[in-house]
Amino acid sequence: MTSIFRDDLFSGRVALVTGGGTGIGLGIAEALARHGADLAIVSRKAENVGPSADRIAGATGRRCLALTADVRQPEAVEAAVDQIVAELGGLEIVVNNAAGNFYCPSGELSPNGFGTVIDIDAKGTWNVSRAAYRARMKDHGGQILNISATLHHGGTPGQVHVAAAKAAVDAMTRTLAVEWGSLGIRVNAIAPGPIAETEGARRLFSGERADRLQRMIPTRRLGTIDDIVSLALFVLSEAASNINGAVIVSDGGLSLTGRFGIEP
Ligand code: COA
Protein backbone atom coordinates (compact mmCIF):
# COMPACT_ATOMS: atom_id res chain seq x y z
CA MET A 1 0.00 0.00 0.00
CA THR A 2 1.25 3.50 -0.80
CA SER A 3 0.92 5.46 2.42
CA ILE A 4 -0.62 8.92 2.43
CA PHE A 5 1.22 9.63 5.68
CA ARG A 6 4.64 11.27 6.18
CA ASP A 7 7.53 8.81 6.37
CA ASP A 8 8.71 10.28 9.69
CA LEU A 9 5.26 10.51 11.29
CA PHE A 10 6.26 8.39 14.29
CA SER A 11 10.01 8.90 14.41
CA GLY A 12 11.35 9.11 17.94
CA ARG A 13 8.36 7.11 19.22
CA VAL A 14 8.36 3.63 20.70
CA ALA A 15 5.34 1.37 20.19
CA LEU A 16 4.05 -1.91 21.59
CA VAL A 17 1.61 -3.98 19.53
CA THR A 18 0.05 -7.03 21.16
CA GLY A 19 -0.73 -9.83 18.74
CA GLY A 20 1.63 -7.94 16.44
CA GLY A 21 2.96 -10.98 14.60
CA THR A 22 -0.08 -11.69 12.43
CA GLY A 23 -3.10 -10.10 10.76
CA ILE A 24 -4.22 -6.59 11.71
CA GLY A 25 -1.60 -6.35 14.48
CA LEU A 26 1.21 -7.14 12.06
CA GLY A 27 -0.15 -4.60 9.57
CA ILE A 28 -0.19 -1.85 12.20
CA ALA A 29 3.23 -2.82 13.56
CA GLU A 30 4.85 -2.78 10.14
CA ALA A 31 3.22 0.55 9.25
CA LEU A 32 4.41 2.16 12.49
CA ALA A 33 7.95 1.02 11.70
CA ARG A 34 7.70 2.26 8.10
CA HIS A 35 6.75 5.64 9.54
CA GLY A 36 9.72 5.83 11.88
CA ALA A 37 8.78 4.09 15.15
CA ASP A 38 10.87 1.56 17.00
CA LEU A 39 8.66 -1.12 18.45
CA ALA A 40 8.01 -4.43 20.11
CA ILE A 41 5.51 -7.02 18.98
CA VAL A 42 4.19 -9.34 21.65
CA SER A 43 2.51 -12.72 21.44
CA ARG A 44 2.14 -15.72 23.70
CA LYS A 45 3.72 -17.81 20.93
CA ALA A 46 7.34 -17.04 20.01
CA GLU A 47 6.84 -18.44 16.50
CA ASN A 48 4.17 -15.79 15.88
CA VAL A 49 6.48 -12.85 16.53
CA GLY A 50 10.10 -13.89 15.83
CA PRO A 51 9.97 -14.08 12.02
CA SER A 52 7.64 -11.07 11.77
CA ALA A 53 9.94 -8.91 13.91
CA ASP A 54 12.94 -9.87 11.77
CA ARG A 55 11.01 -9.04 8.62
CA ILE A 56 9.85 -5.66 9.95
CA ALA A 57 13.36 -4.72 11.09
CA GLY A 58 14.86 -5.85 7.76
CA ALA A 59 12.31 -3.99 5.65
CA THR A 60 12.28 -0.74 7.62
CA GLY A 61 15.65 -0.43 9.37
CA ARG A 62 13.82 0.21 12.66
CA ARG A 63 14.33 -1.78 15.85
CA CYS A 64 11.65 -4.41 16.40
CA LEU A 65 11.72 -6.62 19.47
CA ALA A 66 9.90 -9.96 19.46
CA LEU A 67 8.62 -10.58 22.98
CA THR A 68 6.80 -13.60 24.31
CA ALA A 69 4.12 -12.83 26.90
CA ASP A 70 0.52 -13.88 27.46
CA VAL A 71 -1.61 -10.74 27.93
CA ARG A 72 -3.64 -12.73 30.48
CA GLN A 73 -0.64 -12.78 32.84
CA PRO A 74 -0.05 -9.39 34.48
CA GLU A 75 3.51 -10.22 35.61
CA ALA A 76 4.55 -11.30 32.11
CA VAL A 77 3.03 -8.13 30.66
CA GLU A 78 4.81 -5.92 33.21
CA ALA A 79 8.12 -7.64 32.42
CA ALA A 80 7.62 -7.08 28.69
CA VAL A 81 6.78 -3.40 29.20
CA ASP A 82 9.83 -2.93 31.45
CA GLN A 83 12.03 -4.57 28.81
CA ILE A 84 10.66 -2.27 26.08
CA VAL A 85 11.30 0.86 28.13
CA ALA A 86 14.80 -0.33 29.07
CA GLU A 87 15.86 -1.45 25.57
CA LEU A 88 14.04 1.03 23.34
CA GLY A 89 14.13 4.02 25.69
CA GLY A 90 10.43 4.75 26.12
CA LEU A 91 6.87 3.74 25.30
CA GLU A 92 4.60 6.29 23.60
CA ILE A 93 2.14 4.03 21.77
CA VAL A 94 0.29 0.89 22.87
CA VAL A 95 -1.93 -1.01 20.46
CA ASN A 96 -4.10 -3.57 22.27
CA ASN A 97 -4.77 -5.91 19.36
CA ALA A 98 -4.40 -9.41 20.86
CA ALA A 99 -7.77 -11.16 20.94
CA GLY A 100 -9.39 -14.55 21.00
CA ASN A 101 -12.48 -15.64 19.12
CA PHE A 102 -14.43 -18.66 18.01
CA TYR A 103 -18.01 -19.24 16.99
CA CYS A 104 -20.08 -21.06 19.60
CA PRO A 105 -23.83 -20.98 20.26
CA SER A 106 -24.34 -19.58 23.77
CA GLY A 107 -26.06 -22.65 25.18
CA GLU A 108 -23.05 -24.78 24.25
CA LEU A 109 -20.38 -22.39 25.53
CA SER A 110 -18.62 -23.54 28.72
CA PRO A 111 -17.81 -21.18 31.60
CA ASN A 112 -14.13 -21.54 30.75
CA GLY A 113 -14.79 -20.78 27.08
CA PHE A 114 -16.58 -17.56 28.07
CA GLY A 115 -13.91 -16.69 30.62
CA THR A 116 -11.00 -17.36 28.28
CA VAL A 117 -12.13 -14.71 25.79
CA ILE A 118 -12.93 -12.25 28.59
CA ASP A 119 -9.42 -12.90 29.94
CA ILE A 120 -7.67 -12.33 26.61
CA ASP A 121 -9.68 -9.41 25.23
CA ALA A 122 -10.89 -7.50 28.28
CA LYS A 123 -8.41 -8.35 31.04
CA GLY A 124 -5.55 -8.46 28.52
CA THR A 125 -6.34 -4.94 27.35
CA TRP A 126 -6.46 -3.81 30.96
CA ASN A 127 -3.23 -5.60 31.93
CA VAL A 128 -1.27 -4.00 29.10
CA SER A 129 -2.80 -0.53 29.54
CA ARG A 130 -2.16 -0.62 33.28
CA ALA A 131 1.45 -1.74 32.86
CA ALA A 132 2.18 0.94 30.23
CA TYR A 133 0.56 3.61 32.39
CA ARG A 134 2.51 2.72 35.50
CA ALA A 135 5.86 2.13 33.81
CA ARG A 136 5.88 5.14 31.54
CA MET A 137 2.73 6.95 30.42
CA LYS A 138 1.63 8.49 33.72
CA ASP A 139 4.77 10.65 33.66
CA HIS A 140 5.33 11.05 29.90
CA GLY A 141 1.90 10.79 28.28
CA GLY A 142 1.22 8.53 25.33
CA GLN A 143 -1.49 6.84 23.40
CA ILE A 144 -3.48 3.66 23.74
CA LEU A 145 -5.37 2.27 20.76
CA ASN A 146 -7.69 -0.66 21.40
CA ILE A 147 -8.85 -2.90 18.58
CA SER A 148 -12.51 -3.54 19.35
CA ALA A 149 -15.27 -4.90 17.09
CA THR A 150 -18.79 -4.12 15.91
CA LEU A 151 -20.49 -7.41 16.67
CA HIS A 152 -21.65 -6.19 20.11
CA HIS A 153 -23.24 -3.02 18.73
CA GLY A 154 -26.26 -5.16 17.99
CA GLY A 155 -26.62 -8.84 18.79
CA THR A 156 -24.48 -11.42 17.00
CA PRO A 157 -25.37 -15.11 17.49
CA GLY A 158 -22.55 -17.36 18.65
CA GLN A 159 -20.55 -14.42 19.93
CA VAL A 160 -21.80 -13.83 23.49
CA HIS A 161 -18.27 -14.21 24.91
CA VAL A 162 -16.68 -11.84 22.39
CA ALA A 163 -19.54 -9.33 22.57
CA ALA A 164 -19.20 -9.13 26.36
CA ALA A 165 -15.43 -8.79 26.11
CA LYS A 166 -15.45 -6.09 23.42
CA ALA A 167 -18.17 -4.14 25.27
CA ALA A 168 -15.75 -4.10 28.21
CA VAL A 169 -12.96 -2.88 25.91
CA ASP A 170 -15.16 -0.01 24.71
CA ALA A 171 -16.06 0.89 28.31
CA MET A 172 -12.36 0.89 29.27
CA THR A 173 -11.57 3.06 26.27
CA ARG A 174 -14.00 5.75 27.40
CA THR A 175 -13.19 5.50 31.09
CA LEU A 176 -9.41 5.65 30.72
CA ALA A 177 -9.69 8.44 28.14
CA VAL A 178 -11.47 10.56 30.74
CA GLU A 179 -9.32 9.52 33.69
CA TRP A 180 -5.94 9.83 31.97
CA GLY A 181 -6.65 12.60 29.47
CA SER A 182 -5.18 15.36 31.64
CA LEU A 183 -1.88 13.44 31.75
CA GLY A 184 -1.46 13.68 27.98
CA ILE A 185 -2.70 10.16 27.37
CA ARG A 186 -5.22 9.64 24.59
CA VAL A 187 -7.20 6.38 24.59
CA ASN A 188 -9.23 5.41 21.54
CA ALA A 189 -10.57 2.31 19.85
CA ILE A 190 -11.09 1.14 16.31
CA ALA A 191 -14.05 -1.14 15.70
CA PRO A 192 -13.44 -3.12 12.52
CA GLY A 193 -16.32 -4.87 10.81
CA PRO A 194 -15.55 -8.03 8.85
CA ILE A 195 -11.95 -7.83 7.62
CA ALA A 196 -10.82 -10.24 4.93
CA GLU A 197 -7.72 -12.39 5.29
CA THR A 198 -7.57 -12.39 9.07
CA GLU A 199 -7.74 -15.20 11.61
CA GLY A 200 -11.07 -13.76 12.79
CA ALA A 201 -12.44 -13.99 9.24
CA ARG A 202 -11.31 -17.58 8.97
CA ARG A 203 -13.08 -18.42 12.22
CA LEU A 204 -16.32 -16.48 11.65
CA PHE A 205 -16.97 -16.25 7.95
CA SER A 206 -15.48 -17.65 4.78
CA GLY A 207 -16.67 -19.03 1.47
CA GLU A 208 -20.41 -18.63 0.92
CA ARG A 209 -20.82 -16.72 4.19
CA ALA A 210 -18.23 -14.15 3.04
CA ASP A 211 -20.02 -13.76 -0.29
CA ARG A 212 -23.35 -13.20 1.46
CA LEU A 213 -21.76 -10.73 3.86
CA GLN A 214 -20.24 -8.79 0.99
CA ARG A 215 -23.68 -8.40 -0.58
CA MET A 216 -25.02 -7.04 2.74
CA ILE A 217 -22.29 -4.44 3.23
CA PRO A 218 -23.41 -1.04 1.92
CA THR A 219 -20.04 -0.47 0.18
CA ARG A 220 -20.27 -4.03 -1.27
CA ARG A 221 -16.82 -5.06 -0.11
CA LEU A 222 -15.21 -6.66 2.94
CA GLY A 223 -12.77 -4.51 4.87
CA THR A 224 -9.03 -4.97 4.39
CA ILE A 225 -6.14 -4.93 6.81
CA ASP A 226 -4.95 -1.77 5.04
CA ASP A 227 -8.26 -0.05 5.90
CA ILE A 228 -7.58 -0.60 9.58
CA VAL A 229 -3.88 0.25 9.32
CA SER A 230 -4.62 3.64 7.70
CA LEU A 231 -7.18 4.47 10.35
CA ALA A 232 -4.78 3.45 13.12
CA LEU A 233 -2.04 5.70 11.74
CA PHE A 234 -4.47 8.61 11.62
CA VAL A 235 -5.79 8.08 15.17
CA LEU A 236 -2.24 7.74 16.53
CA SER A 237 -1.04 10.85 14.68
CA GLU A 238 -1.16 14.47 15.80
CA ALA A 239 -3.90 15.04 13.23
CA ALA A 240 -6.20 13.28 15.69
CA SER A 241 -4.94 15.04 18.82
CA ASN A 242 -8.45 16.16 19.80
CA ILE A 243 -9.91 12.65 19.45
CA ASN A 244 -10.04 10.92 22.83
CA GLY A 245 -12.35 8.17 24.09
CA ALA A 246 -13.73 7.48 20.63
CA VAL A 247 -14.69 4.08 19.27
CA ILE A 248 -14.34 4.54 15.53
CA VAL A 249 -16.19 2.11 13.29
CA SER A 250 -14.66 0.93 10.00
CA ASP A 251 -17.14 -1.49 8.46
CA GLY A 252 -18.44 -0.02 5.21
CA GLY A 253 -21.68 0.84 7.03
CA LEU A 254 -22.56 -2.79 7.82
CA SER A 255 -23.43 -2.20 11.48
CA LEU A 256 -26.00 0.38 10.38
CA THR A 257 -27.87 -2.42 8.66
CA GLY A 258 -28.14 -4.26 12.00
CA ARG A 259 -26.67 -7.48 10.66
CA PHE A 260 -23.24 -9.09 10.81
CA GLY A 261 -24.06 -12.03 8.60
CA ILE A 262 -24.11 -14.79 11.18
CA GLU A 263 -27.61 -16.20 11.33
CA PRO A 264 -29.12 -17.79 14.44
N1 COA B 1 -16.11 -23.77 20.64
C2 COA B 1 -16.47 -23.87 21.94
N3 COA B 1 -15.57 -23.75 22.97
C4 COA B 1 -14.29 -23.54 22.65
C5 COA B 1 -13.84 -23.42 21.31
C6 COA B 1 -14.81 -23.55 20.28
N7 COA B 1 -14.47 -23.44 18.99
N8 COA B 1 -12.51 -23.19 21.35
C9 COA B 1 -12.13 -23.18 22.65
N10 COA B 1 -13.20 -23.39 23.43
C11 COA B 1 -13.22 -23.48 24.88
C12 COA B 1 -12.47 -24.73 25.31
O13 COA B 1 -13.26 -25.87 25.22
C14 COA B 1 -12.09 -24.35 26.75
O15 COA B 1 -13.17 -24.51 27.63
P16 COA B 1 -13.31 -25.87 28.55
O17 COA B 1 -12.12 -25.88 29.46
O18 COA B 1 -14.60 -25.68 29.28
O19 COA B 1 -13.33 -27.02 27.59
C20 COA B 1 -11.86 -22.86 26.66
O21 COA B 1 -12.52 -22.40 25.47
C22 COA B 1 -10.39 -22.50 26.57
O23 COA B 1 -9.86 -23.20 25.44
P24 COA B 1 -8.27 -23.41 25.26
O25 COA B 1 -8.06 -24.01 23.91
O26 COA B 1 -7.71 -24.09 26.46
O27 COA B 1 -7.77 -21.88 25.33
P28 COA B 1 -6.44 -21.26 24.82
O29 COA B 1 -6.05 -20.25 25.82
O30 COA B 1 -5.42 -22.27 24.44
O31 COA B 1 -6.90 -20.56 23.44
C32 COA B 1 -8.70 -19.42 22.33
C33 COA B 1 -7.68 -19.38 23.43
C34 COA B 1 -9.74 -20.46 22.68
C35 COA B 1 -9.39 -18.06 22.22
C36 COA B 1 -8.07 -19.81 20.98
O37 COA B 1 -9.07 -19.87 20.01
C38 COA B 1 -6.97 -18.87 20.55
O39 COA B 1 -5.83 -19.05 20.95
N40 COA B 1 -7.28 -17.82 19.79
C41 COA B 1 -6.29 -16.81 19.38
C42 COA B 1 -6.44 -16.42 17.97
C43 COA B 1 -7.77 -15.84 17.64
O44 COA B 1 -8.79 -16.21 18.21
N45 COA B 1 -7.80 -14.95 16.70
C46 COA B 1 -9.00 -14.35 16.24
C47 COA B 1 -9.17 -13.03 16.88
S48 COA B 1 -10.59 -12.18 16.21
Q: In this predicted model, what pLDDT tens digit does every residue of 8-65 receive, in sequence order?
A: 999 999 999 999 999 999 999 999 999 999 999 999 999 999 999 999 999 999 999 9
Nearest CA to ligand 1 atom 45: 100
Nearest CA to ligand 1 atom 4: 113
User: pTM of this prediction?
Assistant: 0.96
**Does residue 8 lie within any of the structural domains?**
no
**Does residue 59 lie within any of the structural domains?**
yes
CATH of the domain at 53: 3.40.50.720
The number of the ligand 1 atom at minimal distance from the alpha carbon of 162 is 48
Arithmetic mean of pLDDT, 208-232: 94
Cα-to-centroid distance, 96 and ligand 1 (Å): 19
Strand partners, 223: 195
Indicate the residue type of 167: A
**Does residue 203 lie within any of the structural domains?**
no
Residue 113 Cβ < 6 Å to ligand 1: yes
Spatial distance between the Cα atoms of 208 and 260, rounded to a whole number of angstroms: 14
Contact (Cβ atoms closer than 8 angstroms) between residue 195 and residue 92? no
Residue 107 Cβ < 6 Å to ligand 1: no
Q: Does residue 263 register a pLDDT over 70?
A: no
Going by C-alpha positions, the residue among 190, 237, 250 that lies closest to residue 4 is: 237
**Does residue 7 lie within any of the structural domains?**
no
pLDDT tens digits, 151-186: 999 999 999 999 999 999 999 999 999 999 999 999
Residue 2: per-residue pLDDT: 82
Sheet holding 14-18, edge to edge: 64-68, 38-43, 14-18, 93-96, 142-147, 185-192, 247-250
**Does residue 196 lie within any of the structural domains?**
no
Helix (H, G, I), strand (E, B) or coil at 30: helix
Going by C-alpha positions, the residue among 81, 92, 82, 3 that lies closest to residue 42 is: 81
